Amino acid sequence: MKSIENINTKISEGTAVVWTASEFKKHIRAGETITPGDVDVVTCGTFGVMSGTAAVLAFQAAPAGSFTHAHSLTLNGVPAHIGPCPNESNGHVDAIVYGTAQSDRPGYGGGHLFADLVAGKSVEAVIETDTGTITKPITLADMSSAKMIVTRGAFKNYMAFVNPGEEEVSTIFSVLPMQGNMREATFSGCGEINPLENDPELRYHTPGTAALVNGAPGIILGTGTRTSAAKPNLSLAADMREMDPNLMGGFKMIAGCECLTSVATAIPVTDSAAIAALSVLDEHIPLPVANVANRTAFDTATYADAWSGDARIHAVPDNCKTPDCIRCRDLCPREAIRPDLTITKSCMGCLTCVAVCPDHVFSAETGTLRTISGDIPIVLRQSDRVRGELAALLLRSRIRAGNWKLGGVL
């Protein structure tokens, strides 16, 4: 058995062997026997809709004495909750913004706002005070503090949702009304590269442990809300100033906007139990299939079913037979389709365009859930393995450079 202190020494000396979870799985699939002597750290990552994300923002709204109290605040039309500090008469505003908050602008919410701020964009702040309305541009650099808190994220396991009924159902788990008779499925989760799939007993995901949140160094606060032994999740916090806008964002759904968040963690390989946990593969990970009407699971697939398809979309704009059609662009949850029908880097391979384009401009192997009830094609992924892997690679680079400490705050 190796100690975390020993591994930290190797990290500081630049001699630690660090793999991503995907690299570890390749060795397992090749039939190799891995021991704690072969690797010191394995980095894991996940990216997807994490509704329990919020930001605590603070900035100077006006000179001291301009107003006694601020009553309300919007940022690019996204409502914020003033406080908890009243900041009487000092012209300062503290506020909490939910990642799922909806702007007065269609298709824009808290997740979009967070990514815009991190990207250095100016946003419009409208502050209603006891002396009048203040409207001013604000950037992240103007803020005295900007912290992100994830109240629950990186769930060890999620569920796939289907509609067994006859009638279509509008739901937060779909961009379009979900067709009945189990003709389509949606799901979340990055499967075998997810942090808690590789540490199900939370041996190394403890309060105070360092983690990357949207690419920024942060800490694990503990387990998140709605955690359970079967489905643990994490609560985390990090400074927004060091985040990467490519590893976060907003996601349009039929019921409003969701928040996209990424988490990456490092698992020290201290003993054979750590090796055993890290050896989990997609085909070993159950994906419960639930009725979207009551969220009750009635069947099971695996994450191998879910991630058997293509991670990204292939576009052939010349296939379009209806040039004036903008349905694919309008429905894209990431607004990733250009007017010429090429795809931008904001795409996360959610599959919406594949499902709705009648001319097959967009194509991908979508994956199919293999259940006792029958085969169910996947029409929407709310997670992105490409960005989950990118988060894990970013953390691997930090550790290899000696810029990380296991088992505690940086």
Letter string b/e over residues 251-267, b meaning 16 or more CB atoms within 10 A of that residue's CB: bbbbeebbbbbbbbbbb
Q: What is the DSSP string of 36-89?
A: TTT-SEEEEEEEEE-SEEEEEEEEE-SSTTS-S-EEEEEETTEEEEE-SS--TT
Secondary-structure percent of the chain, ordered helix, strand, coil, rounded to 5: 20, 35, 45
Q: Which residues contact 35 (CB under 8 A, 6 or more apart)?
A: 272, 275
Strands annotated E in 224-347:
234-239, 249-253, 256-268, 286-291, 296-302, 314-315
Expressed in angstroms, the distance from the first to the final Cα of the chain is 24
Amino acid at 33: T
Q: Is residue 184 part of a domain?
A: no
Nearest partner of 90 among 118, 53, 58, 112, judged by Cα: 58
Nearest partner of 210 among 9, 404, 52, 7, judged by Cα: 404
User: CA distances (Å), 38 to each of 205, 342, 383, in order?
Assistant: 22, 43, 31
Domain hosting residue 89, numbered range: 1-155+189-281+384-397
pLDDT of residue 174: 82
Task: Please indicate, yes or no, whether the overall pTM of this predicted structure exceeds 0.75.
Answer: yes
> Residue 41: left (phi > 0), alpha (psi -120 to 50), or beta?
beta
Q: Is residue 77 part of a domain?
A: yes
pLDDT of residue 410: 44
Structural contact between residues 245 and 209, judged by C-beta atoms closer than 8 angstroms: no
- Kindly give the pairing relationship between strand 41-49 and strand 18-20: parallel
Q: Is residue 58 part of a domain?
A: yes
The count of C-alpha atoms lying within 13 angstroms of the C-alpha of 408, restricted to the half-sphere facing its C-beta, is: 5
Distance CA 138, CA 156 (A): 37
Q: Is residue 322 part of a domain?
A: no
**3-class SS of residue 290:** strand
Q: Is residue 295 part of a domain?
A: no
Angle at 148 between CA 143 and CA 152, to 5 degrees: 165
**3-class SS of residue 306:** helix
Supply 272's token pair: 């054979």
Distance CA 310, CA 316 (A): 16
Distance CA 355, CA 278 (A): 34
Q: Which residues contact 154 (CB under 8 A, 6 or more apart)?
A: 46, 50, 194, 195, 196, 233, 234, 236, 263, 265
How many structural domains does the chain have?
A: 1
Q: Is residue 102 part of a domain?
A: yes
Q: Is residue 81 part of a domain?
A: yes
Give, as one character, the DSSP assignment of residue 383.
B
Chain position carrying tokens 């001291």: 64
Q: Is residue 118 part of a domain?
A: yes
Q: What string of pLDDT tens digits covers the 410 residues of the chain?
A: 799 999 999 999 999 999 999 999 999 999 999 999 999 999 999 999 999 999 999 999 999 999 999 999 999 999 999 998 889 999 999 999 999 999 988 899 999 999 999 999 999 999 999 999 999 999 999 999 999 999 999 999 999 999 999 999 988 888 888 999 999 999 999 999 999 999 999 999 999 999 999 999 999 999 999 999 999 999 999 999 999 999 999 999 887 899 999 999 999 999 999 999 999 999 999 999 999 999 999 999 999 999 998 999 999 999 999 877 888 999 999 999 999 999 999 999 999 999 999 999 999 999 999 999 899 999 999 999 999 999 999 999 999 999 999 986 54
pLDDT digits 0-9 by tens, 27-49 = 999 999 999 999 999 999 999 99
